Structure 1
């Protein structure tokens, strides 16, 4: 017992699996690296994203992989991931992973949906001020030696209306910050959401566009949100309004935005995410070969372009690193899946050091009738201390702690569960 009167969790280790090896790409925070190493994992850390071909060639070596937004885990990659147990997306989004294909292989995917919300919200505030004061153009002119002191077309945020599309964790934080600047806040969301402060939910997107001096998007990428802001929606925006996209690259029709900027219908825009982005810093070039309209967009006045830095603060990356590394470690060591985006969320309390003979069974299987009956028949010769199961779509997951199991019995148990026709992946932790 500890000083707080709680038993210390037993350190579980995989049965019949060699030392776990992790691959971390895209310069994931050192806090995550150290967290994994402290759990005894082998960690390979690479600052760049890997291409699909690179992943296909090497993914078979690893039991877990951590990525950000540029590395794509496709069906083809997963076909070669013969030892992969779990995937960590060290960011908000998970659209860079084929979630269904991963689930069908018994691979839970974890992300960090909330940790960089404040960073993105603060970036939006800074972009609104910069756009309203034409700061980027004035700063560029000064660097070129041109003194151009103007006030025409420059505004305060106070008294203006901010329209937020997607009133989730980022949208709500942004709402509070904007009201502190004296702005009126309206928002549109497909769900009814109680507002913070004095924000007002509007019934239609067109209503929001027609009222807002600033429009900012905070929605996921999906078939429903692709080109959510296009020619028709831009025409509904107030003349002289500003558009901000820190969500996903395909939620706005950028050629349509360019046209609206050239016509003077909107007074400026800030874009942090793009349909196609370079795979690494330094070597990556944002040009017409990557996106056909890039040079035109770069040439327009009062346009802020940033390289996907919405969540790129020390605080956000540290929190993301700790959150996702904790989720991955808990799954690898204890089999628990709370927070998985594509997998049943199952949890059992930790086994304590005073229960040395207990083995934890982690069995993912096809969600079919009769499977649990078969599993329980296999477990029936042992004392099941506790058990929990759940399903999500075509995949189900059961965890069970059983006591008084010898190494030979554990081996037989693993073989029997793995040979059931509905088996996806069976792990024993001991």
Structure 2
């Protein structure tokens, strides 16, 4: 039977499933240095976004006598794991790509509605006794153009939902167009930036940590557009984003992810043009149940093919 460390917690569905199979589940959270001391005691480690498995941590799991065989990211992105190094050393690396796409796509749309109709701001001011009805003249999403950077599962999910709302869909991804999506138009990045009323990011972090939307690319964005990021904080230079919001070049931003979590910069957290959530893209009952079931299936298939 396996000894499994769920370092960032685990849904009860996965815990129950794995326990029924006789495996031992440890949900203790270890910070980076203590994790290095214990990681080799487990056959499997399951992480979310809070735990980074870099080369130094993996080296600790590769010492003589280590039991570790499999790393699972309970989510889509794998950029907090040094996948190349882990696989080169014989460790299995898996994720759960099928369960959270709808939840993340819906959150991105939620931020778009928030910004278009000033919901994020009016919800606060009305609680303060302010009746600022004339201040909150918004826009419709219908007829607007949505630019999607990254067209994997989540990008395609939000494209379908936004298209059903009457939005025009542009998308860009490095690997080129997807032939099966004739309703959505593939364009280069510059075209997407110049023509989109809303831009949403659904791509992994760049390996070198470089932002996709930095000071230079943000200036290419259509004046008055909105930017949504429910993917990775490193994809946007937030200082450049704040400058663009302050200057009026951008009308607003919807953020669920940050370069530091929780975000501590008051210029960011107090900005009236930003709709913010605390990294809750996959925080729905449905997504967590699905992720838990996928985790159980991954472990079962890996050790009992």
TM-score (norm 2): 0.93
Q: Deviations over 1:258-300 (max 9, x none)?
A: 000000110100111112225xxxxxxx31xxxxxx2101121
Task: Kindly report which structure 2 residues correspond to 1:26-425, keeping only aligned pairs within 5 A, or say none.
Answer: 26-46=8-28, 48=29, 50-81=30-61, 82-150=66-134, 153-190=137-174, 191-194=176-179, 196=181, 198-202=183-187, 204-223=188-207, 226-278=210-262, 286-287=263-264, 294-332=265-303, 334=304, 336=305
Q: Once superposed, what is the RMSD of the aligned Cα atoms? A: 1.7
Say whether the 8 Å CA contact 1:195–1:201 is kept in structure 2.
no
Q: CA deviation at 1:224?
A: 6.9
Q: Which has the larger radius of gyration?
A: 1
Q: Which has the higher helix share?
A: 2
Q: 1:195 to 1:252 in 2, by over 3 A?
A: farther
Q: How many residues align?
A: 300
Q: CA deviation at 1:160?
A: 0.8
Q: What runs of 5+ residues in structure 2 fail to find an aligned partner?
A: none
Say whether the 8 Å CA contact 2:230–2:281 is kept in structure 1.
yes
Q: CA deviation at 1:100?
A: 2.5
Q: What runs of 5+ residues in structure 1 fail to find an aligned partner?
A: 1-18, 279-285, 288-293, 337-430
CA distance in 1, matches of 2:249, 2:99: 35
Say whether the 8 Å CA contact 1:176–1:196 is kept in structure 2.
no
Say whether the 8 Å CA contact 1:239–1:265 is kept in structure 2.
yes
Say whether the 8 Å CA contact 1:52–1:77 is kept in structure 2.
yes
Q: CA deviation at 1:25?
A: 2.1
Q: What secondary structure is seen at the aligned counterpart in 2 of 1:129? A: helix
Q: What secondary structure is seen at the aligned counterpart in 2 of 1:140? A: helix
